[in-house]
Structure formats: C-alpha cells, structure tokens
Amino acid sequence: MKDKIINELKKIKRTGIEKLIEWLESTDFFTAPASTRFHSNKNGGLAEHSWHVYTLLKEKNERFKLSLSEETVILTGLLHDCCKTNTYSANSKGKYPFIKDDPFPFGHGEKSVLLISKFIDLTVEECLMIRWHQSQGDYEWKRNIDEVSKITSAVMALVTADIEACAFLELTK
C-alpha cells in the first residue's frame, strides 16, 4: 500500500511534494489504524482507507465529469485524513484495539489542510474538499454547506467516497 500511495503522490508536480512525502514516511501514516473502533481499525488501516477513498473519488470524477485535476483527486483522496497520523496507540486494556490521544486536537479537516499546507500549496477547492469531508459528522456542516457548495460541488464527491469506503469496503464487524 505504501508504494502505491507514494507512486501516486509522486505524480504531483508542486513545489514541496518531496518534503510532504518525506514527512508522511516519518509518521505512522502507513501503519496506523483509520479509527479506534469503526472502519479499518487495524494496523495499516489509515493507508488502506486513504487508498479506497482515492480510488472511489477517481471513479466519481470520471463518471460525473467533475473536471477535478489528477492532482486534486490524488491530494484530497489520499490525504484527507492525514490528521490521524501519530494519534493512535495500542489499547491492551479496553474493548477496542486502539485508543486515540491527539497531541494537537485542531479539528479533523482543518488539521489535514494545515498539515498538507506546511509542505505544498493547496487550491481553494482542495482546502474546502478536505475541510468538509466529514460532512454531517462536523457540527458546522449544516451552517456552511450551502456556501461551500456554491464554490465547489466536488466536496460531495469526497464526502460520499469517504462514506462509501467506510460503509462498504472497511466496516469492522
């Protein structure tokens, strides 16, 4: 999974992409779970989830003729949850295999945008897609989705790709 993700990221031609890849490799992005008890709560689950979201977003971009650039699909699909890096640890005492202890609780989408932006410039559309990918799981969603949708309808493609990956490809039983 790591090689597949890095190969896609290397297609991006923006200044700083090499540093972003180096940062990802210095974190637990490729070995971390995607959640504590829901989807992909296993070692490597975050990378697996990211790949699923990316492939679903790529399909939606083609099917619905969203006109997202290849770079936008790669960045938003693969890195929408990079905020989860270095936040999970093994849980030997509880019901679930992992616990979350976020040393920088900055908000889910906002934190991913911030982390990526330390290395490369994101477009407004990419920022909005990543920021709002949690949809109704974000308490600000109802207040802002109309305005966000006026700027880009592509946010819904990432939202649904994320939901479909969790519900159909990664549901923990």
8 Å CB contact between 155 and 134? no
pLDDT at position 139:
64
pLDDT in tens, 45-74: 999 999 999 999 999 999 999 999 999 999
Query: Considering only CA atoms, which of 83, 85, 170, 75 is closest in space to residue 129?
Result: 75
pLDDT at position 88:
93
8 Å CB contact between 6 and 54? no
Kindly state the tokens that stand for 39: 């989807």
pLDDT in tens, 144-165: 677 777 777 898 899 999 999 9
3-state secondary structure of 91: coil
CB-neighbour burial class of residue 65 (10 A; exposed 0-12, middle 13-18, buried 19+)? exposed
pLDDT at position 133:
82
Confidence grade of residue 172 (pLDDT, cut at 50, 70, 90) = low
3-state secondary structure of 83: helix
pLDDT in tens, 105-120: 888 899 999 999 999 9
Mean pLDDT on 2-19: 98
Distance CA 18, CA 99 (A): 31
| Percent of the chain at pLDDT exceeding 90 | 66
pTM value is 0.92
Quote the mean pLDDT of the chain: 91
> Which residue did the predictor score with more confidence, 94 or 10?
10
8 Å CB contact between 144 and 171? no
140 has pLDDT over 80 = no
8 Å CB contact between 52 and 168? no
Mean pLDDT on 14-42: 94
